[in-house]
Each structure stands twice: as structure tokens, then as C-alpha cells.
Amino acid sequence: MSKCYPDVIPAEYQGDEILADAYTRGWNHGHGLACHNKPSIGETYWTDSEGKLECDAENIRDVHASLCYAAESNSRCYSPFEFTASEFNEYGEGDDEDGTPASEEVWDAFEAGTHDAISADLAEYTDEDYGIEAESEVA
């Protein structure tokens, strides 16, 4: 699956060390979520978007994405994420004089990194990774 760190940081975050760091930390966070929330065919899961559903070959990718985003949302409720949140919130309105970004910009970079990593990881999963066997072709 994708690496813990992005190959490229989007241009909008490259020029600022704080935003580049937030994006990279978000990427790492998203990568971990995608790796640790892989569903299994035949299991029943609860997702915020769909409720209770059984995972099958047709919906496994959607279930995987739902589990990742639910885990991301839930992770913000507990330490050690509280330390990251506190750090990002300390930027407040930012400082135009020294170029320090505003807290909202730092959060945007982190969330973009998280989303991009989850998307990159999910794009690399194959049917084999999910345990979906190819249907035999009838000659």
C-alpha cells in the first residue's frame, strides 16, 4: 500500500514548513487508518453512512473507505491526537509578519494529507488483497 510519507507534497503546502509538516502528518495518519481498517468478506460492520451491513465482493471497497473515515473521526476524540489538535489550534489566526499560517490552514493541510493517503492506499488494494477470487471464465 502507499508509503508512510508522500512522494510529493501539494504545491499549496510546499512553501510553508508548518503546512508541509501538517500535510505529511495527515498522510501518515491516513496511511495507518487504511492499513488497520481493512474489512473481510463475510463480516458484518457498522458504518455511520450505511448502518449495519455485510461485507461482500461488491461493497468491500466502499466498506473499507467508510471504516477508514469513521476511524479518522473517532481518533480525534482521544489522546494522543489531543496533543496534535492542541498544537494546530495554537496557531490561531496566524501571523502575517512572520508568515505563520493560521490554525485553519494547518488543519486543512493535515486533513488533505489524511484524505490523500487513504485514497492512495485504497487505490492500491487489489481483489486478491481483499480475498476476492477471480471468477472463472467459461469457454
pLDDT tens track for 5-29: 898 999 999 999 999 999 999 999 9
Per-position b or e across 47-77, b if 16+ CB within 10 A of its CB: beeeeebebeeebbbbbbbbbbbbbbeeeee
Q: Summarize the confidence of residues 50-61 as an average pLDDT.
A: 90
Least confident range of 74-83, 96-105, 123-132: 74-83
**Bridge partners, 54 (sequence order):** 44
* pLDDT of 110 above 90: yes
CA atoms within 13 A on the CB side of 98: 8
Mean pLDDT estimate for the chain: 89
Position with higher pLDDT, 139 vs 99: 99
